[in-house]
């Protein structure tokens, strides 16, 4: 058989390449939706130059990743826009991983590239702890307090290690650590789950207290009165409105601490 015209072969190759790209995109989408927490690749991402004020660095779990936001921004995407519109406009990097626990985040600091980004950071924002506490989120109402206390102790140990490493790598960098909200506040036995979350938040505050560069960003009150209004269809992650509230609270706290009106110390979540 004689080879076809060159344009036919070009079209065939383009069709083949398009198909390969489609498969690759589909694979990445499935991995994002279904894949467990895994090491986040930082290959090809360059830290800020030394003459810049430092990057805005996001660490932690699916809340910093923005899962549940129909616009795909999350609180980090909203804050990033505000950050880039100010004199801090030195870029941002989001290294959070969906499904990440405090142990996963602690392990992430073993990566040289992660430590390098922390050193270069001008501000660090973190959401962590939700996957430690809500490991069995469908059965949270049936979890016994002894199990929760064991999880809390491991979480405090991991959080201490994480904050200690940040302090060692970048002692002058402000760190904003979100507290937890109760996604089950409108379900039966909400008094019990609310107390569990409040106690967990208190443990976070106590753990962070020795680190002067850490400020707790409370969000419990934002979701408490009407959780359905601010949660995604999975009844666990925030929706677009919920993330906007988180971003507004974070921006308010950031501006307050930077202006010197409030101490950058962790404060109790009321």
Q: Does 37 score more than 90 pLDDT?
A: no
* Position 50 confidence tier, pLDDT thresholds 50, 70, 90: very low
Give the mean model confidence (pLDDT) for residues 77-86.
Answer: 89
Find the helix or strand (DSSP H, E) in which 10 lies.
helix 6-34
Which residues, including other chains, have CB under 8 Å from residue 140's CB and lie 6 or more apart? 134, 184, 193, 196
* Position 6 confidence tier, pLDDT thresholds 50, 70, 90: very low
Same domain, 120 and 24: no
Lowest mean pLDDT among 102-106, 157-161, 183-187, 253-257: 183-187
The verdict on residue 237 lying in a domain is yes
Give the 3-state secondary structure of 193-209: HHHHHHHHHHHHHHHHC
* Measured distance CA(249)–CA(241) in Å, rounded: 12
Same domain, 93 and 156: yes
Same domain, 137 and 195: yes
Give the 3-state secondary structure of 217-270: ECCHHHHHCCHHHHECCCCCCECHHHHHHHHHHHHHHHHHHHHCCCCCCCCCCC
Q: Copy the structure tokens of residue 223.
A: 């979701």
Same domain, 19 and 62: no
The verdict on residue 270 lying in a domain is no
What is residue 45's predicted lDDT score, i.e. its pLDDT? 42
Which residues, including other chains, have CB under 8 Å from residue 151's CB and lie 6 or more apart? 132, 133, 135
* Measured distance CA(102)–CA(61) in Å, rounded: 9
Same domain, 101 and 168: yes
Same domain, 93 and 67: yes
What is residue 157's predicted lDDT score, i.e. its pLDDT? 99
Which domain does 142 fall in, by range? Answer: 40-259
The angle, 0 to 180 degrees and rounded to 10, between the axes of the packed helices 240-259 and 74-84 is: 40
Cα pseudo-dihedral 235, 240, 245, 246, rounded to 10: 70
- Assign residue 239 the CATH number of its domain: 3.40.50.1110
Same domain, 167 and 63: yes
Number of domains forming the structure of the chain = 2
Lowest mean pLDDT among 13-17, 93-97, 132-136, 169-173: 13-17
The verdict on residue 269 lying in a domain is no
Phi, psi of 228 (to 5 degrees): -60, -30
Lay out the sheet containing 175-178: strands in order across: 92-94, 55-60, 121-127, 175-178, 214-217
The verdict on residue 187 lying in a domain is yes
Over the stretch 165-212, which tens digit does the pLDDT of each residue have?
999 999 999 999 999 999 988 777 788 889 999 999 999 999 999 999
Give the mean model confidence (pLDDT) for residues 148-169.
Answer: 98
Higher pLDDT, 244 or 50: 244
* Position 11 confidence tier, pLDDT thresholds 50, 70, 90: very low
Q: How far is CA 258 from CA 55, 61, 131, 205, 264, in A?
A: 16, 25, 30, 20, 8
Residue in 153, 177, 163 with CA at minimum distance from that of residue 211: 163
């Amino acid at each position: 058989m004689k080879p076809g015209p060159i344009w036919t072969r070009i079209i065939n190759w383009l069709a083949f390449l398009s198909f390969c790209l489609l498969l690759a995109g589909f694979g990445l989408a499935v991995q994002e939706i279904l894949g467990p927490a895994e090491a986040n690749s930082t290959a090809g991402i360059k830290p800020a130059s030394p003459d810049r004020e430092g990057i805005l660095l996001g660490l932690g779990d699916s809340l910093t990743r923005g899962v549940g936001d129909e616009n795909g921004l999350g609180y980090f995407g909203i804050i990033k826009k505000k950050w880039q519109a100010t004199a801090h406009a030195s870029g941002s990097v989001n290294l959070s991983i969906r499904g990440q626990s405090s142990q996963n985040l602690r392990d992430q600091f073993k990566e040289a590239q992660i430590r390098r980004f922390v050193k270069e950071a001008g501000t660090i924002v973190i959401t962590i702890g939700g996957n430690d506490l809500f490991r069995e989120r469908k059965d949270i109402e049936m979890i016994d307090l002894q199990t929760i206390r064991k999880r809390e102790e491991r979480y405090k140990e991991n959080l201490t290690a994480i904050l200690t490493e940040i302090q060692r790598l970048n002692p002058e960098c402000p760190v904003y650590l979100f507290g937890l909200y109760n996604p089950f506040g409108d379900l039966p036995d909400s008094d019990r789950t609310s107390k569990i979350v409040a106690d967990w938040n208190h443990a976070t505050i106590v753990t962070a207290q020795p680190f002067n560069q850490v400020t707790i960003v409370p969000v419990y009150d934002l979701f408490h009165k009407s959780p359905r209004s601010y949660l995604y269809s999975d009844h666990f992650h925030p929706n677009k409105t919920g993330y906007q509230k988180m971003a507004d609270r974070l921006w308010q706290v950031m501006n307050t601490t930077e202006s010197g009106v409030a101490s950058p110390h962790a404060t109790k979540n009321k």
